[in-house]
A and B are shown apart, each in its own frame.
Chain A
């Protein structure tokens, strides 16, 4: 079932067009969003997170149009979002931070205490749950951010560079968590780390210069690369091959 549907999307900042004529359909599962710096990944995530209004196009989340006031509120209740850089609340403990966002997402009051503990446990921060956020390391802050994104058991989960700052062991654990979450939600992960995509994602979309240039399974991206393409792994070679091909076509 399609839970994210984007058609004819255009976003510009002043005269600079960042996303143009972009269409994408995503169903339940873990989806990787790849692309070079400035390709428009974060802009797409912000549009899907309903914090940036596009110039043009239709965005539907869980069947609700995001330009409809009632629909967007319903979608936001089932949405989880971790921005690329998030400002944390220094006065809050981890538990209070996650609880605050559970309330903001209008979860039923009776469900909140258990959901907060479960979310913190899933990111491995239960032993630091009562520490103030200003005392956490960068990787721990990132995990607290992931906890607030998943506290409401979102049907749509948007994670922008979620593994930045995580150590290798935490990244492996995070991939496991992603696969669990992707069983009954659409999870979109924007990342530069193609190995994360190969390990955790069922589908991958590649954006370049504001356009969708590839959508398929990681194996298909791997198959697009050859020995002559640059990259240290098969998926990196596929990534560079697809990008090169897209740029040749656009010229």
Chain B
């Protein structure tokens, strides 16, 4: 591996647009979180739930567009160790997004602050990565976005294990089951994406993704 290949690969994946987008999301998360936490008519730091849910979700959606090359078929026919490259990209993205967003929630980090932002970054990126393997990068945002909307509006107050497992994005960060759920989604998504890559769109193949090889 050389630096030149890495630079070309990052450009092929639109990394600069992703970094710019995450920077904007980070600024908005900081401004939104600060404003919500400072309103006397709201719940204080607990009012930051929409930020804790939405900021990592938007960053994961942005990441989804970088999880496939312009031509997956051409790339798959090359000898590069793609599973390692794919896993590396997702892990780097988690570190970058979580690192940036955590900084915005350091004030009262345990109440929908830094901790929840880190947990939700793991979960949303895992979900988008897994959806990329099943649906392709173009549609990978859909399950995460739909699930995010549904769970926000359902917003259960119960913090029991079963409820926490399915509503992990809106659970207080002290609920251990929410971390287990987000981590599980992340590991499944990471492994699925690393080994399968992006499901190839119909434009390039008339076949089922099951038959594709790395």
Contacts and interface: CB of A to CB of B under 8 A. Distances in A.
Smallest CB-CB A-B distances: 3 pairs: A87-B71, A104-B78, A76-B79
Contact of B211 (A53, A73, A99, A105): A53
B70 A77 contact: no
Contacts of B212: 51-53
Contact of A99 (B8, B76, B78, B206): B8
A85 B11 contact: no
Interface of B: 2, 4-5, 8-9, 11-12, 14, 69-80, 203-208, 211-213
9 contacts: A14-B208, A72-B213, A87-B74, A88-B70, A90-B70, A92-B12, A96-B8, A101-B78, A148-B74
Contacts of A99: 4, 8
Interface of A: 11, 13-14, 43, 46, 49-53, 55, 72-74, 76-77, 79, 81, 83, 85-92, 96, 99-101, 103-106, 109, 148
Contacts of B203: 85, 87
A51 B70 CA distance: 15
Contact of B14 (A46, A49, A91, A103): A91
Nearest to A81: B77
Nearest to B82: A104
A101 B74 contact: yes
Contact of B205 (A52, A90, A103): A52
Contact of B73 (A51, A55, A72): A51
Contacts of B11: 89, 91-92, 96
Query: Which of B4, B73, B208 is the most central at the interface, judged by chain A CB atoms within 10 Å of its CB?
Result: B73
Contact of A13 (B71, B78, B206): B206
A50 B5 contact: no
B73 A13 contact: no
A86 B77 contact: no
B8 to A, nearest CB: 5
A37 B146 CA distance: 40
B74 A81 contact: yes
Given A87-B72, A103-B4, A106-B78, 14 more contacts: A49-B73, A49-B77, A53-B213, A73-B79, A76-B78, A79-B77, A83-B73, A87-B203, A88-B71, A89-B11, A91-B12, A100-B9, A104-B5, A104-B79
A46 B74 CA distance: 10
A106 B80 contact: yes
Query: Which of A50, A74, A90 is the most central at the interface, judged by chain B CB atoms within 10 Å of its CB?
Result: A50
A87 B69 CA distance: 8
A76 B212 CA distance: 15
Query: Which of B5, B73, B76, B78 is the most central at the interface, judged by chain A CB atoms within 10 Å of its CB?
Result: B78
A87 B11 CA distance: 15
A105 B204 contact: no
A87 B80 contact: no
A23 to B, nearest CB: 20
Contact of B76 (A14, A51, A86, A92): A51
A96 B211 CA distance: 30
Given A13-B206, A87-B71, A89-B70, A50 B8 contact: no
Contacts of A76: 77-79
B204 A85 contact: yes
Contacts of B71: 83, 86-88
Contact of B74 (A55, A72, A86): A86
A110 B211 CA distance: 36
A89 to B, nearest CB: 5
Query: Which of B4, B12, B76, B79 is the most central at the interface, judged by chain A CB atoms within 10 Å of its CB?
Result: B79
A52 B8 contact: no
Contacts of B204: 83, 85, 87
A53 B213 CA distance: 6
A43 B205 CA distance: 9
